[in-house]
Amino acid sequence: MPLASPDTTEPFPPVRRIEGRLDAGLLLLCDHASNALPPAYGRLGLPEAQFERHIAYDIGARRATEAMAEALGAPALFTTYSRLLIDPNRGAHDPTLVMRLSDGAIVPGNARIDEAEIERRRAAYYRPYHEAVADALRAMAATGTVPAIVSMHSFTPFWKDVPRPWHVGLLWDDDPRLAAPLFEALKAEPDLQPWAERVGDNEPYDGALPGDTIDTHATRNGYANVLVEVRQDLMATDAEAEAWGARLARLLAPILRRPDIHEVRFFGPRAGAGRRLAAL
């Protein structure tokens, strides 16, 4: 169980960086890169095995993002803490910002926390990550090249015993500039055939999520963007995750040379029914 008032001043940098080129035209993000916790929080009352599950982090996403950054020479930002502490891919006041119950697992260290503790976590971990993203985007835009944003995630093979057939899914709101050409490129990959069963368009869930990282830093600023989801069992090892990172870098490289990717354009956000690239 965590301390009643954890000392969040102890050294635990909440953000890790790969510097990359500021004029690369791409910022890579990994919101759920780590299953670690600051020492003062112990294990939030959970057994260690729970931290190997998707409830603690996005399996494979960190290594895939690192491989993309290396291949493209792009900057990348990673959280260093588990989403069980606080979820950076939520709005600051979203009711799921700190999960008390996650996919059947009660989180004892979160079950009775009050608003003061949630605010401590916002100040020490959540806000520094979002400030780092905003700072990086400002520095990149100052080079004269408008940056695009790719956010890397992974999803479970099943949800409530229902299998998820997709190998990879692209999540997007109303801006198709990155999502549409990357979708077409993935559809042409030989090992992703039949593509209609293996490449998801706003799957396994809709990408129009108010207050999430993409909405906050890309949609509201007019930056081209896409959130990539790869099924976790397909990149459970470092080698598999690196292969997905290398594939995505290969497919993104020609797309990033398109001039429209590096223009500020406002497309939304979208409300109501989800949108599908296949209908464009």
CA distance 63 to 68: 9
pLDDT of residue 280: 36
The phi, psi pair for 238, rounded to 5°, reads -60, -40
Contact 108, 102 (CB under 8 A): no
Residues of the chain with pLDDT below 70 are 1-10, 271-275, 278-280
**Prediction pTM value:** 0.94
Task: Give the start-end residues of each E strand in 70-198.
Answer: 76-79, 101-102, 105-106, 148-155, 158-159, 162-163, 168-171
pLDDT of residue 141: 98
Q: In this predicted model, what pLDDT tens digit does every residue of 29-42 receive, in sequence order?
A: 999 999 999 999 99
pLDDT of residue 160: 81
Distances (CA, A) of 209 to 100, 109, 120, 195: 20, 27, 24, 25
> Which long-range CB contacts under 8 A does 91-95 form with residues at least 24 apart?
91/210, 91/211, 91/212, 91/216, 92/122, 92/126, 92/127, 92/211, 93/211, 94/211
